[in-house]
Structure 1
Amino acid sequence: MDGNINASDIDNKIGQDRPANFSPGAKNILVVGSDSRAGANAKYGKDLETMQSDTLMVLHVAANREWGAVVSLPRDSWVQIAACDRGDGTTSEPHRFKINEAFAIGGTKGDVGGAAACTIKTIEQNTGLRIDHFLSVDFQGFKGMVDAVDGIEVCPEHAIHDKKAHLDVEAGCQTVKGEQALGYVRTRYSVGDGSDIGRIGRQQEFMRALAAKAQEKLTSPAALYDVLDSATKSVTTDPALAGIEPLVDLASSVKDIPEDRLMFLTVPNYPRELDVPTDKANVSWQYPQAQDLFTALAKDEEIDEAELTTVAPVPARSIKVQALNGTGTTGAAANAAEHLRAAGHTVVGTGNAPEASETTTVTYPPGLEQQARAVAVRLRNSVTPQVDPNATAGVVTQTIGTDYSGLRG
């Protein structure tokens, strides 16, 4: 089986400017569902000219192996795409677009490792979370793993007939395998509101059931063999994960996590049209909740899902910010203001701070704590915002210090 696995060295493509590893015993693994149409996947359509990431998830395995989290990153997330090696001798420019474009940029020449490297670089720069490994699975590998555990029961409320996803199932509980299983997690426009967020819900429901069944089945050497045989034939990983021994270790780590402590989450988000009324297709990450999630994972702290979902989103556009220059360097406030606008905030002014400062600060008037935190957590050097009773009403103030290094996301 070792010979089945495709490995791709990505470290030299990610670069050196990476987040610190705050919990060496924990593992953060990028799981990419690739919708490559190469080889046996060609029957799903040949109209794609670039590699695509159909699904993006980060699997966090805690250092004590007593809990884990699977975090879905909506493919339509509007983020800052990192500058990446295209694999053809050129480097892309950093820009804002939906997150799954990173996979296509890095995979310009058809290299899964390059595609994963650009995706990892983009995720790390937007979240501050260090990714330890990647694992890319294509359509055939996914179907094989589902078949290896004898299928998964799903219970759609309505019949689903989706030619694009190759899916025809009736309403009610039933076990799906192979083509039907793949179609169930891929279908989008034929179910519910047709959004990627709705599809993520079905994917997480399916993955939760797959994890539970695998925990039962993987106690059998024969079942473990079948799963690994299917996986290794359609998977690409980084070299450290490219072997039966590390993959079995990973499977064993997840297998022992109690079902009620393996969480399935989606990055908190809201429709981007709340920031940009003309954008009806994409989503913006909800701050400060999104960064709270990534910071908890970086520190290997178990997540309280309720804290991420019980607070109503505050769109970036609704947060008024002024940028003050405390560096003594001309143009620092204007530069920061451009970063804030790019992040979706409404900049109401720039100016010079009353005194010079080495440290960037965020202050706010009473009643704007959540808005201030949404601004503060996006700083690459994150700070704790401070209330200022004398601050301008309705406005968050970001004072730029000499340590300012831009924003995440």
Structure 2
Amino acid sequence: MPVFDAYSGLNIPRAGCVHLDGYHALQVVRARHLQYRPASVTTTNHAYWPYELQSDLGRINRDHEFLRVLASSVAKQGLGNPVTDFRLVNSVAGQLEFDNAFTTSDMVHLLLTFHSAKINSAPQLTIPVSVGPNTSYIYAGYPKGEIEFPSLVPDLHAIDQFLQISPDTNTLTGQPLPRPSAVTVSVVNGSGVANIAATTLSSLEALGFRGAGTGNTPVLASQLET
């Protein structure tokens, strides 16, 4: 369908397959204020087109798709042939920034190693994050650069798996986590929901924690209540 982004400059007025040169491809991968024209909207006035409302998450998904298409196009040149691989690497190396220890020979080695990989089946993740006042962290005892922690627990597990970090490791210190049996917990119910403290404590005990009883605390009123 037709799409538009006033910030990136993207403007594709017609539905269907469109060939993008490098300049217009950048407009696609940078778009995070995307508007689209569904079949129910007939006007070409962008003011009446709805927004995608996914911001960076939508942009990341488009980046994934762009890289998948680009990789498929490159693969059609016959990767796995050292001559072809050297020619490809030398044609793009001048436009890339990479670590001094990472040479063009290393790039060719990667192409030779992964040339038969199935691009469309490669796992890709788009991970919502919790943004705090500081985004520079030590992850698993090692500096991993700027890290914004995922807001969903399964995504944390995915990062641990990618970094080959044991689930028993404290991701802030890199040290082993204490065994649940070495931790004593008590649960105080301030939710206003009956018996929730006992239910929560039972769940923790099932995980191996030592229970120390339950209690209740006054329920704080919401600011919306009068």
TM-score (norm 2): 0.54
Identity among equivalent pairs (%):
20
Separation of aligned partners in 2, 1:300 and 1:176: 40
Separation of aligned partners in 2, 1:182 and 1:223: 26
How many residues are aligned here? 160
Of 31, 39, 57, 1:197 maps to 57
Partner of 1:258: 118
What is the 5 A alignment of 1:4-403?
157-162=1-6, 164-170=7-13, 171-191=15-35, 192-193=52-53, 195-219=55-79, 224-225=85-86, 227-241=88-102, 243-267=103-127, 269=128, 285-299=150-164, 359=178, 386-388=208-210, 390-392=212-214
The AA in structure 2 aligned to 1:169 is: I
Contact 1:217 1:224 in 2 (8 A): no
Separation of aligned partners in 1, 2:198 and 2:78: 54
| Structure with higher strand content | 1
SS in 2 for 1:264: coil
Q: Which runs of 5+ in 2 are unaligned?
A: 36-51, 133-147, 167-171, 188-196, 217-226
Contact 1:271 1:284 in 2 (8 A): yes
Separation of aligned partners in 1, 2:68 and 2:210: 46
SS in 1 for 2:2: coil
SS in 2 for 1:198: helix
SS in 1 for 2:69: helix
Separation of aligned partners in 2, 1:238 and 1:366: 54
Partner of 1:51: none
SS in 2 for 1:160: strand
Partner of 2:223: none
TM-score (norm 1): 0.32
Question: What RMSD, in angstroms, separates the aligned Cα atoms of the two structures?
Answer: 4.1
**Per-residue deviation, 1:292:** 0.7
Q: Which runs of 5+ in 1 are unaligned?
A: 1-156, 274-282, 302-338, 340-357, 373-384, 395-409
Larger radius of gyration: 2
Query: CA 1:245–1:391 in 2, change beyond 3 Å: closer, same or farther?
Result: farther
**Per-residue deviation, 1:185:** 0.5
Contact 2:3 2:10 in 1 (8 A): no
Contact 1:167 1:179 in 2 (8 A): no
SS in 1 for 2:124: strand
**Per-residue deviation, 1:225:** 4.9
Runs of 4+ in 1 over 6 A off after TM superposition: none
Partner of 2:221: none
SS in 2 for 1:214: helix
Encode CA deviations 1:2-22: one digit per residue, 9 max, x unaligned: xxxxxxxxxxxxxxxxxxxxx
Separation of aligned partners in 1, 2:71 and 2:165: 21
**Per-residue deviation, 1:389:** 5.1
Separation of aligned partners in 1, 2:53 and 2:9: 19
Query: CA 1:271–1:236 in 2, change beyond 3 Å: closer, same or farther?
Result: closer
Query: CA 1:296–1:224 in 2, change beyond 3 Å: closer, same or farther?
Result: same
Encode CA deviations 1:73-97: one digit per residue, 9 max, x unaligned: xxxxxxxxxxxxxxxxxxxxxxxxx
The AA in structure 1 aligned to 2:208 is: Q
